[in-house]
């Protein structure tokens, strides 16, 4: 068989005749002329699982809009609010009003929910709706959705089904099932623009929830890439994950969520850091929530892992000159005897010698090398003569943490999900999605990086990083087996050399660079001032200068330049990472609408700065809307008082004509299938003549 015969032999198995091919073409053409599904863009969740759950339940106000579209003037505002709440919080609402629930109430609400459901599913084919139906009442919902108005026989059939549901005491369960079906159908695709992890307590809960969604994709944020690196056993990434978790008192997520054993760190901290647990390292939690001893132990653990992190990061910097981060090898610039840090100590070898002379003379100022008194200068595990080396106890802690991260079944499941669904950037329906930035220089040109003797910038830079990330991630399975075997046969000491000398067992330092590296496209800053914020009082040192991208991104020509770099002619950029300071008058709409920033501070840690609780973007067939969210109030209050769930909606663009599936990426795929089927028909005709 030639190539053409082999190609068509595969198609013939699915479409064995001209008629079957024509039928499929008719079906695909019909689908292409349906309105596009609604896309939901969400960024920088940072472990705030309750706020995220609320956004998914309400679809950022889309459910409220669908209820309004269904009933308009037919029902009062109060009645429509109640239906919206019932769809978003069905179990909670029914439980709250259980004393008032009777057969007539259930019948009324079932009819109303079915009306909303018909509106929500009207843009989809029956096949797509059928695939999304719940297992328990799927057949019944499908029958009820297709009642024909004016058909008395069908109406009687419809009423009979409803009465039977009520008579069998299944009314409440049916309401819950159809409400969740509406939640599922109201949004066709979810785009996550990075940073699921850190600060909030429930990143694992968020990922458990997202795994249930069929149409979801990610662009990685620097916090996500940090956890991916930790899941691959990168020791510096692991130390950062532990430090941030302790800082925000999320140790329960480590232990209960991912089964990470942090007891070796607790033992080290109790033995060496408990008596020097500086208040600087106190977790962001009320002292009333845990015992005094546990609070102090967490503070000691926080300090201990921070010191380990600084050591491991210095090791990465030393073995990766391409990262150009020698100035962030912090421990080399500390005068441990006098508790002084010399900024820019690593500037050059000549200056190092001069500064050492200064330390001996106890001179605190010199041109180009400013000194700062440390807020905490007690380092029980640092050898001043070799400050980057882990001591024996620290090595033991990191070996065990590495094993724990590599063997966490749930973490590895989530990491696989993030790798399968995620990427450095995404082009979807003509729009460019990325988390941090496309690095620019002071002139607004694409910044140039040299890695492995090759120069990269713009799109090529992000493509390079993605290749490196995937290579490192998928090699971890082999390395995981090495760890498991060593653990099984009690031979962990055999891998000690790799863990201590190389910093980790795998060549995956790129994860750490993307997390906090100078001008990394996921980080977008010149430095991460972890050390300075812990140890130096001067706020000037705490600043983390942003990449020039953030100063240029409001210019139309820069947005267009970036879009052209990714071969996008008529689209927008959707960006996260840096919270929009609405409180100070900053707008999320940049470059005259060519660029939208949808990080509005969903994490509570940012809300004092932003004044809001995040943005989400809604892209339907009729409009592009930016939803501005307020801080989440107690769900019980929302359900009890039928509070209006609609956030502040900002119209970005209204479409004169509805956007159809044929105008989208899926439409292009369907067109390719149609062309293939047309070729198949011609093949049938040609072979019939032969």
Q: 123 in a domain, yes or no?
A: yes
* pLDDT tier, 505 (very low <50, low <70, confident <90, very high otherwise): very low
What local confidence, expressed as pLDDT, does residue 363 receive? 38
Q: Is residue 319 over pLDDT 90?
A: no
Lowest mean pLDDT among 367-381, 398-412, 478-492: 478-492
pLDDT digits (tens, 9 = 90+) for 147-187: 655 566 778 888 889 999 999 899 999 999 999 999 999 99
- Please report the pLDDT score of residue 360 as a whole number: 41
Local confidence band at 481 (pLDDT 50, 70, 90 cut-offs): low
Asked, for residue 334, whether it belongs to a domain, the answer is no
Helix axes 409-421, 458-474, angle to 10 degrees: 150
666 within a domain of the structure (yes/no): no
What's the number of domains the chain is made of? 1
pLDDT-derived band of residue 367, with 50, 70 and 90 as boundaries? very low
Domain hosting residue 64, numbered range: 39-191+584-659
Residue 257 tokens read as: 């969520």
Compute the average pLDDT of residues 89-113.
92
Most confident option among 39-48, 363-372, 640-649: 39-48
Q: Is 355 a residue whose pLDDT tops 50?
A: no
Cβ(422)–Cβ(220) below 8 Å:
yes
Structure tokens at 518: 């100078």
| Angstrom distances, CA of residue 56 to CA of 15, 52, 102 | 39, 6, 29
Instruction: Report if residue 79 sits inside a domain.
Output: yes
pLDDT at 200 over 80: yes
Interior angle at CA 32, CA 29 and CA 57, nearest 5: 145
Q: Which residues have C-beta within 8 Å of that of residue 547, sequence separation ≥ 6?
A: 437, 439, 440, 447, 519, 524, 525, 526
Q: What span, in angstroms and rounded, lies between the C-alpha atoms of 562 and 569?
A: 10
Listed in order, strand segments (DSSP E) in 82-194 are: 189-192
Rounded to whole angstroms, the Cα distance separating 8 from 15 reads: 10
Number of H helices, E strands in the chain: 30, 18
Backbone angles phi, psi at 6, to 5 degrees: -65, -40
Measured between alpha carbons, how far is 51 from 14 in angstroms, rounded to an integer?
45
pLDDT at 20 over 80: yes
Alpha-carbon span 275 to 392, nearest angstrom: 20
Q: CA 476, CA 232: separation in Å to the nearest integer?
A: 6
Contact by Cβ (8 Å): 33, 661? yes
Average pLDDT, stretch 225-252? 94
Quickly state the pLDDT bin for 606 (edges 50, 70, 90).
confident
243-301 confidence digits (pLDDT tens): 999 999 998 899 999 999 999 999 999 999 999 989 999 998 887 788 889 999 999 99
Q: Where is pLDDT greater, at 432 or 345?
A: 432
| Alpha-carbon distance values, 501 to 381, 520, 561 (Å) | 17, 25, 44
Q: pLDDT per residue over 651-679, tens digit each?
A: 999 999 999 999 999 999 999 999 999 99
Q: Which residue has the higher pLDDT, 611 or 558?
A: 558
CA separation for the pair 404, 231 (Å, rounded): 9
pLDDT at 70 over 80: yes
pLDDT mean across residues, the chain: 88
Measure the CA–CA gap between 86 and 80, rounded to whole angstroms: 10
Judge whether residue 345 has pLDDT over 70.
no
- On whether the CB atoms of residues 204 and 410 are closer than 8 A, the answer is yes
Choose among 615, 549, 561, 619: nearest CA to 588. Answer: 615
Percent of the chain with pLDDT over 70: 90
Predicted confidence band at 596 (pLDDT cuts at 50, 70, 90)?
very high
User: Residue 558 has what pLDDT?
Assistant: 97
For 622-651, how does the pLDDT look when each residue is reduced to its tens digit (9 = 90+)?
999 999 888 877 778 888 887 766 678 889
For residues 313-334, average pLDDT = 92
Q: How confident is the model at residue 502 (pLDDT cuts 50, 70, 90)?
A: very low
**pLDDT score recorded for residue 604:** 81
The pLDDT tens digits of the residues spanning 575-592 come to: 999 888 888 888 999 999
Taking the C-alpha atoms of residue 254 and residue 294, their distance in angstroms, rounded to an integer, is: 16
CA–CA dist 186, 129 (Å, integer): 11
pTM for the predicted model, two decimal places? 0.89
Give me 56's structure tokens.
Answer: 């998914």
User: Do the domain assignments include residue 680?
Assistant: no
Q: How far apart are CA 384 and CA 667, in angstroms?
A: 63
Q: How far apart are CA 290 and CA 619, in angstroms?
A: 44
- Alpha carbon 664 to its chain centroid, in Å, reads 24
Hey, CA dihedral for 380, 386, 392, 393, is it positive or negative?
positive
Q: Is 72 inside a domain boundary?
A: yes
197 belongs to a structural domain: no
Residue 380 in any domain: the answer is: no
């Amino acid at each position: 068989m030639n190539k053409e015969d082999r190609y068509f032999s595969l198609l013939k198995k699915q479409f064995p005749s001209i008629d079957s091919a024509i039928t499929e073409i008719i079906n695909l053409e019909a689908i292409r002329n349906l309105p596009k599904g609604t896309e939901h863009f969400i960024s920088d969740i940072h472990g705030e699982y309750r706020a995220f759950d609320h956004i998914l339940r309400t679809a950022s106000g889309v459910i409220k809009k669908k209820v309004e579209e269904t009933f308009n003037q037919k029902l009062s505002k109060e009645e429509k609010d109640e239906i919206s709440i019932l769809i978003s919080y069905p179990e909670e609402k029914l439980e709250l009003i259980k004393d008032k629930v009777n057969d007539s109430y259930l019948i009324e609400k079932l009819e109303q929910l079915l009306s909303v459901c018909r509106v929500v599913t009207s843009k989809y084919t029956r096949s797509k709706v059928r695939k999304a139906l719940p297992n328990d009442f799927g057949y019944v919902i499908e029958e009820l959705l297709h009642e024909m108005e004016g058909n008395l026989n069908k109406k009687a059939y419809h009423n009979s089904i409803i009465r039977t549901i009520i008579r069998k005491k299944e009314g409440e369960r049916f309401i819950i099932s159809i409400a969740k079906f509406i939640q599922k159908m109201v949004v066709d695709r979810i785009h996550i623009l990075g940073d699921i992890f850190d600060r909030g307590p429930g990143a694992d809960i968020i990922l458990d929830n997202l795994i249930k969604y069929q149409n979801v994709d990610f662009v990685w944020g620097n916090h996500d890439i940090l956890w991916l690196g930790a899941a691959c056993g990168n020791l510096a990434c692991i130390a950062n994950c532990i430090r941030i978790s302790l800082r925000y008192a999320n140790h329960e997520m480590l232990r209960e969520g991912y089964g990470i054993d942090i007891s070796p760190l607790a033992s080290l901290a109790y033995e060496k850091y408990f008596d020097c647990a500086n208040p600087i390292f106190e977790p962001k939690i009320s002292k009333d929530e845990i015992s005094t001893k546990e609070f102090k132990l967490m503070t000691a653990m926080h300090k201990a892992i921070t010191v380990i992190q600084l050591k491991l990061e210095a090791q990465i910097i030393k073995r990766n000159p391409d990262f150009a981060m020698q100035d962030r090898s912090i421990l080399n610039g500390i005068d441990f005897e006098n508790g002084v840090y010399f900024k820019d100590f690593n500037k050059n070898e000549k200056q190092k010698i001069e500064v050492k002379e200064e330390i001996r003379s106890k001179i605190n100022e010199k041109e180009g090398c400013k000194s700062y008194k440390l807020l905490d200068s007690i380092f029980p595990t640092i050898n001043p003569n070799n400050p980057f080396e882990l001591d024996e106890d620290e090595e033991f802690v990191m070996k065990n943490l590495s094993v724990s991260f590599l063997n966490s079944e749930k973490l590895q499941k989530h990491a696989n999900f993030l790798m399968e669904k995620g990427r450095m950037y995404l082009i979807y329906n003509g729009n460019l999605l990325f988390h941090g930035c496309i690095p620019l220089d002071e002139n607004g040109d694409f910044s140039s990086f040299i890695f492995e003797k090759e120069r990269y910038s713009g799109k090529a830079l992000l493509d390079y990083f993605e290749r490196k990330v995937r290579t490192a991630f998928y090699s971890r399975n082999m390395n995981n087996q090495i760890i498991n075997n060593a653990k099984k046969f009690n031979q962990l000491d055999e891998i000690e050399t790799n863990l201590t000398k190389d910093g980790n067992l795998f060549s995956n330092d790129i994860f750490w660079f993307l997390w906090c590296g100078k001008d990394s496209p996921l980080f977008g800053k010149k430095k991460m001032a972890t050390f300075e914020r812990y140890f130096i009082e001067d706020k000037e040192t705490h600043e983390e200068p942003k990449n020039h991208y953030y100063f240029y991104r409001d210019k139309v020509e820069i947005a267009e330049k970036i879009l052209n770099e990714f071969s996008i002619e008529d689209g927008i950029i959707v960006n996260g990472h840096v919270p929009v300071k609405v409180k100070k008058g900053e707008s999320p709409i940049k470059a005259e609408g060519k660029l939208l920033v949808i990080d509005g501070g969903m994490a509570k840690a940012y809300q004092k700065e932003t004044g809001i609780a995040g943005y989400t973007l809604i892209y339907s067939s009729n409009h592009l809307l930016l939803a501005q969210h307020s801080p989440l109030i107690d769900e019980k209050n929302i359900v009890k008082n039928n509070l209006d769930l609609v956030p502040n909606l900002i119209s970005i663009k209204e479409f004169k004509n509805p956007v159809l599936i044929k105008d989208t990426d899926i439409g292009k795929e369907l067109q390719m299938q149609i062309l293939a089927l047309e070729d198949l028909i011609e093949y049938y005709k040609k072979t019939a003549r032969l």
